[in-house]
Amino acid sequence: MEKYYTLEIPKTDRIPKLVAHLYAKMPEIESARARLITESYKETEALPVIMRRAKAFEHILDNIPIIIRENELIVGSTTIAPRGCQTYPEFSYKWLEEEFETVATRKADPFYIADQTKRELLEADAYWEGKTTSELATSLMAEETRKAIDHNIFTPGNYFYNGVGHVTVQYDKVLAVGYEGIIAQVEEELAKCDPGDRDYCTRSQFLQAVLISCRAVIRYALRYAELAEKEAAGCADGARKKELLQIASNCRRVPAKGATGFYEACQSFWFVQQLLQIESSGHSISPGRFDQYMYPYYKKDLEEGRLTREFAQELLDCIWVKLNDLNKCRDAASAEGFAGYSLFQNLIVGGQDRDGNDVTNDLSFMCITASKHVFLPQPSLSIRVWNKTPHALMLKAADLTRTGIGLPAYYNDEVIIPSLLNMGLTMEDAREYNIIGCVEPQKAGKTEGWHDAAFYNMCRPLELVFSNGYDKGEKISIETGRVEDMATFEEFYDAYKKQMNYNISLLVNADNAIDVAHATRCPLPFLSCMVDDCIKRGKTVQEGGAVYNFTGPQGFGIANMADSLYAIKKLVFEEKKVTLAEYKRALAMNYGQGFDEISAAEIATQIVREMEATGMKVDESQIAAMIATVMDTELPAEEKQKYEALRAMIDEVPKFGNDIEEVDMFARDVAYTYTRPLLHYQNPRGGQFQAGLYPVSANVPLGAQTGATPDGRLAHTPVADGVSPSAGKDVHGPTAAANSVSKLDHGIASNGTLFNQKFHPTALSGEKGLENFVALIRSYFDQKGSHMQFNVVDRETLLDAQKHPEKYAHLVVRVAGYSALFTTLSKSLQDDIIRRTEQGF
Amino acid sequence: MDYLQTKGRIFDIQRYSIHDGRGIRTICFLKGCVLRCKWCCNPESQEYAVQEMTVRGKTRVIGQDVTVAEVMETVEKDRPYYNRSGGGLTLSGGESLCQPEFARDLLRAAKAAGINTAMESMACAKWEVIGQILPYLDHYLMDIKHMNSAKHKAYTGKGNELMLENAGKIAAFRQTKLSIRVPVIPTFNDSIEEIRDIAVFADKLPGVEDIYLLPYHRLGQDKYEGLGRMYELPDILPPEPEHMQMLKKVVEANSKLRCQIGG
């Protein structure tokens, strides 16, 4: 018999109906949670915070409106409106009030909000003034840290405004023993508490808070059982009636008790997944190794003839749809950084067990099929790749990649496991890792990883080198000397490292302040009862209850900094073609390409500061006039030519991403300026900082906060994505780019690295295309790359490339005996390619 | 190791080539060709002389003299990809046989380094030239464009006798895998009869198992203008997918060959 079943199981008619229902309308903001938590908080002011959290959670679950959507087999919806979202005023709320009028019309992730909802939110929010985690965090930060944030050196906005999320809990435990099992365990721990114990107060309060939370969850499921029974009674359609009664029966059993079969396991999983996201607004609540913990239930049912593969697939598909039912409204700036309504619920298949055996099973394949059937962004499907990953699973994954959905992401066990060992995990735990959110590895049910702690813009400290610590006329960092006086590259690079180190210390301060704020104001008893060793230690994950504790802020702009520093090394210090003073002026003048409104405002601010410093008063109209003047300023032709000549020179300097040993090894060293210093810092939970190198989609908005860089990049254009080369700078194809990227030290960036590649569909066509594609991934991983994901370009992308060739300079179109960079072709031939693309594979 | 110093003239090295032989390959394009196919998508390959070509308004020098060792430095960079995919080095052109010593020594260097070799060629050269290359060649991707010598001459500048004769000899050598590739060019060879005749010929070659039908494309058209030349087939369109499928059926009905559309 085959070790696993690899054939594709067909999709049922139910799935497109569920998807259509979900996407019929713009998602909507609802007020129920905000109202309920506020009601509860008003009545619990005398209680310890942990108890207030539990009672609020209970009050929400007992009263929040519930709904069973048409055709659903798995139930549990956080909002009445499909894909709606609740709000979480305990973390922050002001931004939403400020965006009430624009949230429905903004470009990134709009949400509808009814006038009635606005009024209800305003009423609830009023209670939270001064009580949020974000306000406490601000007051905990050093003044220079707040300044650095104001000046966009880094942004810890994600956890500043929201819950933390970024966790994988013990789904397996809930599936096995249910919340009644957890309650029994907690009661046992409570019985051991002696009022004379040093930590009796906090421990016993925490354990009681867990009991309240678990009981609330059981009651919440029972509400669904009752609703299903009620709907069944009024249902004329016999088939649906049967389904509803089955739903009722499931919800009566789970998640209170252990699941007796696969269907119950699916429903139990879903309640955990959904309710974690009612307790807190943190995203990246990741299902993790779903194919592993669900498999025993699937296997048993299948063997005992209680389940068909077709029905199992339909249930998986239903869960995949439900994962897209959950939603979150972020502030406008964050929405751009996380564009696509994504909750980054990462679900990973394949890999090895704690003893190092491959664990691919039927469900690994069926999970990939589910993503193909449902064809929605959630879950963020991932696959673990190691030397013993079956080729069939790789081909199955590649077949999904070529649909253009951008899934799955591929992860390399051979790099990630050693890097986790290096961070103190045991071998067994490291082998069982899964991915959180985008690319962050951790051991499920034991880790509070704070994986997405901040975005740190590596380009900004270089700007501070040129400005000697000033930004917009204000001193915001240390002084590292005038660049005009720097005589060697070492001196210059050293100044960069000093600016990096100083700002990294402020980044740590920002994260730790937010960390303390969460522990103080929003400890999470429900989540904590599913993470070891909270129950034993008698405290939440926010207070250090987890076995493994990390903080992982992301650095980005590696490629820009590598190319920038290398260009300075070559042009200024080795070839002496330009001085640092000239470079500085060229950057300030945006290489003569004119100023946009942001630059003009920055320049005006600087002038105003200088004027005010001498005692002069400046009013609004003068500032506006100044901005207009700056924007209209036309540089003398001679000066403009000089900058253009400089940019042409920079263009000739070799760039990261082209498999040039010297440049790539230089980039490796530049990445260390971020990854190494971070390892020296500790967080308040008793854990260590660790670096990630990935930007989600923040490279665009944060690039907009960055001036011109010495690699020739113009002001406010996007910076490079993850560890990928700068857009359009890698011109020797995917193998050269992958070789360059693999030369970075991925092992030290133990919070994950992200490498994106774009392919034209011709590269993946046919069986041979898939084989070669798999070989490409394998070869990158042989060279110790950590992560890879792919966009297969579609017609729209190519149309965009016709309009913005500079963004797509690396896009190669290949046919036998011929290949060309798409952007170098004439319009009519590009149209030929676009037609070819539509013919697909 | 003198052969590593052999010099030759190339106009491009392209990595991650996946439609020219097995696996992920690096193609080295040798400059100079014996034929002048009217549809040629690499017209800058035809002249041996170093040329200038205008690409998007910029003048580029086409043609560079390099040693075998220099080419191998680039070829070596993708060794991990060859290992995983069964790929390697492919020589293309032009017609590689126009630079026999360089082609031979490049292939020899690759074999010595344990790298799989392939060559795209019309086999339009004296047998002695081909014979000394074959020991270093794993896969011969041979173009057969037409069975009618007069029509062949009209569209490519030369009759097909020598090439067809060489095809038989290469096949008889048996140490090198031989596959046949047919550029399918509307108005030249895209009829049922023309493709059938090629398939029947190829089927008789001992050891030949695969035939590739490569649909005409005009992606090289810009280059003619860049070289200051006229494109002689401005009015033909790439064949429709349905037509290609039909031709594939013709091949399969008239031979035992595996037929694939595209490289």
Q: Do B15 and A825 touch (CB under 8 A)?
A: no
Instruction: Name the nearest CA neighbour of A157 among A274, A283, A32.
Output: A283
For residue A813, what is the nearest residue in chain B, using CA coordinates?
B219
Q: Is the peptide bond before A461 cis (omega within 30 degrees of 0)?
A: no
Token digits of residue A397:
């994954």
Digit-coded pLDDT (tens) for A772-799: 999 999 999 999 999 998 888 777 788 8
Instruction: Name the nearest CA neighbour of A433 among A250, A286, A332.
Output: A286
Question: Residue A810: its pLDDT value, please?
Answer: 64
| Distance in Å, alpha carbon of B36 to nearest chain A alpha carbon | 16
Whole-angstrom CA distances from A169 to A174, A442, A526, A531 are: 9, 11, 10, 6
Distance CA A348, CA A409 (A): 9
What is chain B's length? Answer: 263
| Distance in Å, alpha carbon of A778 to nearest chain B alpha carbon | 7
Question: Residue B219: its pLDDT value, please?
Answer: 82
| Distance in Å, alpha carbon of B147 to nearest chain A alpha carbon | 22
Of B84, B92, B238, the CB nearest to A775: B84
What is the complex's ipTM, to 2 decimals?
0.90
Question: Residue A9: its pLDDT value, please?
Answer: 94
Of A769, A779, A832, the CB nearest to B81: A779
Out of A31-35, A99-103, A716-720, A737-741, which region has the weakest mean confidence (pLDDT)? A716-720
Phi, psi torsion values for A167, nearest 5 degrees: -150, 155
Average pLDDT, chain A: 92
Mean local confidence (pLDDT), A537-555: 97
Q: Do B83 and A814 touch (CB under 8 A)?
A: no
For residue B85, what is the nearest residue in chain A, using CA coordinates?
A775
Q: Is B234 on the interface with A (CB under 8 A)?
A: no
Q: Is the peptide bond before B94 cis (omega within 30 degrees of 0)?
A: yes
Mean local confidence (pLDDT), A129-151: 97
For residue B84, what is the nearest residue in chain A, using CA coordinates?
A775
Q: Is A817 on the interface with B (CB under 8 A)?
A: yes
* Global pTM exceeds 0.95: no
The residues, ordered by sequence, that sit 6+ positions from A289 with a Cβ below 8 Å of its Cβ are A348, A349, A351, A432, A434, A444
Q: Do A833 and B221 touch (CB under 8 A)?
A: no
Mean local confidence (pLDDT), B56-84: 95
Mean local confidence (pLDDT), A315-334: 93
| Distance in Å, alpha carbon of B120 to nearest chain A alpha carbon | 8
Mean local confidence (pLDDT), A307-322: 98
Q: Do A775 and B87 touch (CB under 8 A)?
A: yes
Find residues 705-764 of chain A whose CB sits inside 8 Å of chain B. 732-736, 739, 762-763
Question: Residue A626: its pLDDT value, please?
Answer: 79
For residue A821, what is the nearest residue in chain B, using CA coordinates?
B219
Calculate Rg over the CA atoms of chain B: 18
Are residues A306 and A320 in contact, defined by beta-carbon separation less than 8 angstroms?
Answer: no
Digit-coded pLDDT (tens) for A432-465: 999 999 899 999 999 999 999 999 999 999 999 9
- Which is catalytic among the residues A318, A438, A459, A522? A438
* Residue corresponding to tokens 């003034």: A129
Question: Residue A754: its pLDDT value, please?
Answer: 87
Size of interface A-B (CB pairs under 8 A): 105
Q: Is the peptide bond before A533 cis (omega within 30 degrees of 0)?
A: yes
Q: Is B84 on the interface with A (CB under 8 A)?
A: yes
Distance CA A51, CA A61 (A): 15
Question: Residue A806: its pLDDT value, please?
Answer: 74
Distance CA A815, CA B210 (A): 18
The edge-to-edge listing of strands for the beta sheet with A455-457 is A154-155, A455-457, A554-556
Q: Do A776 and B20 touch (CB under 8 A)?
A: no
In SS3 terms, A123-159 reads as: HHHHHHCCCCHHHHHHHHCCHHHHHHHHCCCEECHHH
Question: Residue A105: its pLDDT value, please?
Answer: 92
Residue A1: pLDDT band with limits 50, 70, 90? very low
Residue A440 appears among annotated catalytic residues: yes
| Angle subtended at Cα A553 by Cα A548 and Cα A555, rounded to the nearest 5 degrees | 140
Q: Do B85 and A779 touch (CB under 8 A)?
A: yes
Of A765, A816, A819, the CB nearest to B14: A819
- The DSSP code for A376 is S
Q: Is B218 on the interface with A (CB under 8 A)?
A: yes
Are residues A720 and A697 in contact, defined by beta-carbon separation less than 8 angstroms?
Answer: no
Distance CA A471, CA A413 (A): 42
**If you average pLDDT over each of A334-343, A357-366, A822-831, which comes out highest?**
A357-366
Amino acid at B77: K
| CB half-sphere exposure, B258, CA atoms < 13 A | 9
Q: Do A832 and B219 touch (CB under 8 A)?
A: yes
pLDDT of A192 above 80? yes
Question: Residue A818: its pLDDT value, please?
Answer: 60
Are residues A402 and A764 in contact, defined by beta-carbon separation less than 8 angstroms?
Answer: yes
Q: Is B181 on the interface with A (CB under 8 A)?
A: yes
| Distance in Å, alpha carbon of B235 to nearest chain A alpha carbon | 13
Instruction: Name the nearest CA neighbour of A496 among A463, A521, A535, A524.
Output: A463
Token digits of residue A83:
């894909």
Tell me which of B40, B81, B121, B143 to substitute to probe the interface with A (most A C-beta atoms closer than 10 Å).
B81
Q: Is A387 on the interface with B (CB under 8 A)?
A: no
Q: Do A817 and B238 touch (CB under 8 A)?
A: no
Question: Residue A838: its pLDDT value, please?
Answer: 55
Question: What is the DSSP pairing of strand A474-475 with strand A470-471?
Answer: antiparallel
Of A733, A815, A820, the CB nearest to B19: A815
Of A763, A775, A814, the CB nearest to B23: A775
DSSP assignments along A552-589, one per residue: -PEEE-HHHHHHHHHHHIIIIIIS--S-HHHHHHHHHT
Question: Residue A819: its pLDDT value, please?
Answer: 61
Are residues A329 and A111 in contact, defined by beta-carbon separation less than 8 angstroms?
Answer: yes
- Which is catalytic among the residues A28, A30, A120, A440? A440
| Residues of chain B contacting residue A736, judged by C-beta atoms under 8 Å apart | 15-16, 77
Question: Residue A718: its pLDDT value, please?
Answer: 86
Amino acid at B258: R
Question: Residue A81: its pLDDT value, please?
Answer: 96
Question: What is the DSSP pairing of strand A812-815 with strand A818-821?
Answer: antiparallel
Q: Is B39 on the interface with A (CB under 8 A)?
A: no
Digit-coded pLDDT (tens) for B94-110: 999 999 999 999 999 99
Mean local confidence (pLDDT), A564-592: 96
Question: Residue A815: its pLDDT value, please?
Answer: 58
Mean local confidence (pLDDT), A516-540: 98
Q: Is A832 on the interface with B (CB under 8 A)?
A: yes
Q: Do B41 and A818 touch (CB under 8 A)?
A: yes
Distance CA A697, CA A721 (A): 8
Q: Do B262 and A771 touch (CB under 8 A)?
A: no
Whole-angstrom CA distances from A363 to A168, A234, A298, A350 are: 19, 36, 8, 9
Question: Residue A840: its pLDDT value, please?
Answer: 42
For residue B223, what is the nearest residue in chain A, using CA coordinates?
A825
| Distance in Å, alpha carbon of A412 to nearest chain B alpha carbon | 16
| Residues of chain B contacting residue A788, judged by C-beta atoms under 8 Å apart | none
Instruction: Name the nearest CA neighbour of A152 among A707, A702, A714, A605.
Output: A702
Q: Is A139 on the interface with B (CB under 8 A)?
A: no
Of B87, B181, B262, the CB nearest to A815: B262
Q: Do A818 and B42 touch (CB under 8 A)?
A: yes
A25 membership: H or E segment, kind and range: none
